[in-house]
Structure 1
């Protein structure tokens, strides 16, 4: 049993003796048949310096062995994993979570005060649900927009990779592919991520990972509403394959009354039209880059303005066709006598004689047979088709 001189050896009834650790899905690994070793009072907690039960396991193939770093009391106090010290619900550092929820850390830093504070928490947790966080501020606070943007929706198993082989860095590793460590270039020592402290992460101060995530959140794109106020339709992309219209309507009906919802299963997208513009803006603000269904983050975009799109099409004339070489130009317009009515005169009212195919010849009541068609095109002129002479002309 590992104990230091500062450990309170006479207060052993408050030492932790657990049967299973408090871990996140990433640290637990993807292997359903995991095997752990349990060492009772194996090490001291790196936060409260009290002996606790240490668990050690391998999360999967080609991964490094992991172990618990803090006791379960400190884990429940902050609602974090005992190994990576990230939030169990969002998978984010404590500094990011407390900044988003505006939670102030009231954990004392002094060793004596800290031990007294944690002992009181142990007695309180024994009366209530041990699965809930002990911090009352975390119980009352709900999810914020920042947490929904940065939260991890799936385990990040890349975090369990082995460490870099120090012999490979020196050029002296002779194991080759059998080496259990990574043969990669190590992190630059000047990189802030190379200097991480477990106490700073737990107290939420000077955490380089949290600062990186905060900068990423500040640079995230937004979804500005279109200028056309008539647009009340949202495009929903990256939908799961087996989603139904009732499930999708249940996610978007909470932001306002829906006029229509069109689901396109082949394209894995949908169009949600709200009755008011305010409801559409509220839905776009709450769901953009935040809504996750069946482990997939949905793509939210504004629909296009149909009226403006039609106006643009009418205002732009079609491009003129290029003339074909070798063909004549356009034909001249037909003469005026081919029109049944002059342009300046309106057509006469319908008469009973229209039924007998009689056309208007001029003036009211002047009805007769239609005039013979005039020869307009040269191909219809008999004089130009090789005819010799008319019957009225004398033959020579």
Structure 2
């Protein structure tokens, strides 16, 4: 038999009877097999004061029993969990969610207006397909950058811990490890988080948890765009072992042409180089603090320039080692091809030096040592040494600078279209 149901005993046709609660993953627990007790019209909703079906269960081992606090109509109006009253999509308080989506609460406070508003919402919920929220929340934008940055990607099971043992605080608990409550120091009563009200959380006012999250959002770091325009590489950290090359490519290819994707499994990171700086800036802006792949929030940063990594000056590091330009990278395109005269000059410079044990491979001779003439123009000694030297390979002709080849320009690549790149 139900307990005292207050002033709503006269209108039993609006009492709620449901078969399963509306819960978030955190409140439901990590165990897929749980036992629930169902009490029909067991309590009054703490928001609309109408009797509803109460569910009670234990989400896991060494966790406290939980129960539904509000009816399903109030839960669907705000798209929140019936127990914790946090948003089902982002896992955030209602005040934070409404601030990010610029939604203003319209639920009336008086009993008569609240009852009328609830009946209208029930009618709208019955006519909807159940895939989208109702009311102003259903007309709001689908996402917000601030909500994507603050959203929780994994369940927070720590919220299901037992309450603090009051006997242990007084030093009178004799159960020891068998005590089902926590033996911890209670929260400071002056802490704002110690004073939480379920109605304030539902209406989105005076919520200390929401205030803390909004303050965190205002102080979040921002990704500054580097001044070096040659940087087109993004660093992706925190990959784990599940994120693959194809998943990264499918996400970042929407922002522009990708030159290379390099995954370093040992460091669990990746480097994605774009063809243009504009594509890299767009990818950084759309992915910073918002990139979630396989349930993991990935860290997005700008790659460092060659000068920042090696502190180079005109291609020479502080240790005096000259770094060769890498073909295909911005600002480091291959040199133009050598002419016939330059090739012949380079070939003659590969002649043996005056010392039979040292080969002068295109380097200037040491001080005081004369450069030997080409083969056939000197004493017979050079002819003998020239015969002993291995045959020199022909000069390497490098690709002339021009348009860099990208994967999508390959006509043999699946899905490539000639018209996309200026063809017929």
- Return the TM-score normalized by structure 2: 0.74
**In angstroms, what is the RMSD of aligned CA positions?**
2.4
- Show the counterpart of 2:114: 114
Superposition deviation, residue 144 in structure 1: 1.1
Cα distance, 1:111 vs structure 2 = 0.9
- 2:312 match: 311
Q: Distance in 2 between matches of 1:68 and 1:350?
A: 95
Q: Which moved more, 1:295-304 or 1:73-82?
A: 295-304
The Cα shift of 1:4 comes to 4.4
Counterpart position of 1:340: 370
Deviation at 1:310, TM superposition (A): 6.0
Q: How has the CA–CA distance of structure 1 residues 351 and 69 changed in structure 2, closer, same or farther, with 3 Å as cutoff?
A: closer
Give 1:297's aligned residue: 297
1:213 alignment counterpart: 213
CA contact (8 A) 1:240 1:294 kept: no
Q: For residues 162 and 352 of structure 1, what CA distance do their matches in structure 2 show?
A: 95
Change (3 A) 1:278 1:170: same
Correspondence for 2:416: none
Q: Give the Cα separation in 1 of the matches to 2:242 and 2:122.
A: 45
User: Hey, what's the Cα distance between the residues in 2 that align with 1:109 and 1:121?
Assistant: 15
Contact map agreement 1:238 1:297 (CA 8 A) in 2:
yes
Secondary structure in structure 1 of the residue aligned to 2:312: helix
Displacement of 1:242 in angstroms is 3.6
C-alpha change, 1:260 and 1:174, in structure 2 (3 Å) is same
Aligned to 2:232: 232
1:46 matched to 2:46? The reply is yes
Instruction: Give a deviation string over 1:133-183, Cα, whole Å, max 9, x none.
Output: 223434541221111111111111110111111111111111111111111
Alignment of 1:47-126 (within 5 A): 47-126=47-126
Task: Quote the offset at 1:289 in angstroms.
Answer: 2.2
Moved more, 104-113 or 218-227: 218-227
Give matches, 1:21-40, under 5 Å.
21-40=21-40
Deviation, 1:354, is 2.2
Q: Distance in 2 between matches of 1:137 and 1:83?
A: 20
Deviation at 1:132, TM superposition (A): 3.2
For residues 355 and 166 of structure 1, do their structure 2 counterparts lie closer, same or farther at Cα, with a shift above 3 Å needed? same
5+ long unaligned stretches in structure 1: 320-334, 342-346, 360-396
| Deviation sequence 1:318-366 (CA, Å, 0-9, x none) | 59xxxxxxxxxxxxxxx99x5437xxxxx9x86954263489xxxxxxx
Question: Which residues in structure 2 correspond to 1:1-396 (within 5 Å)?
Answer: 1-7=2-8, 9-306=9-306, 309=310, 311-312=312-313, 314=316, 316=318, 339-340=369-370, 352-354=376-378, 356-357=380-381
Q: Distance in 2 between matches of 1:97 and 1:84?
A: 15
Match of residue 374 from structure 1: none
Change (3 A) 1:41 1:273: same
Shift of 1:315: 6.2
Q: CA contact under 8 A between 2:103 and 2:140: conserved in structure 1? A: no
Tell me if the contact between 2:78 and 2:137 (Cα under 8 Å) persists in the aligned partners: no
Cα 1:357–1:40 shift into 2, 3 Å? same
Q: Partners of 1:242 and 1:133 in 2: how far apart?
A: 33
Is the 1:76–1:132 contact (alpha carbons within 8 Å) kept by the matching residues of 2?
no
Of 240-249 and 175-184, more deviation after overlay is shown by 240-249
- 1:393 corresponds in structure 2 to none
Give 3-state SS (helix, strand or coil) of 1:143's partner: coil
1:325 aligns with none
Instruction: Give the conservation status (yes or no) of the 8 Å contact 2:132–2:138.
Output: no
DSSP-derived class of the 2:89 partner: coil
Q: Identify the residue that residue 373 of structure 1 maps to in structure 2.
A: none
Q: Deviations over 1:63-99 (max 9, x none)?
A: 1111000000000000000000000011100000100
Deviations 1:108-127 (A, max 9, x none): 11110110111111122222
Distance in 2 (alpha carbons) for counterparts of 1:354 and 1:91: 86
Q: CA deviation at 1:287?
A: 1.4
Q: Do 2:237 and 2:300's aligned partners in 1 also have CA atoms closer than 8 Å? A: yes
- The number of residues matched between the two structures is 336
After TM superposition, give the deviation of residue 11 of structure 1 in Å. 2.3
For 1:166 and 1:206, the matched residues in 2 are separated by 27
> Offset of 1:213 from its aligned partner?
0.9
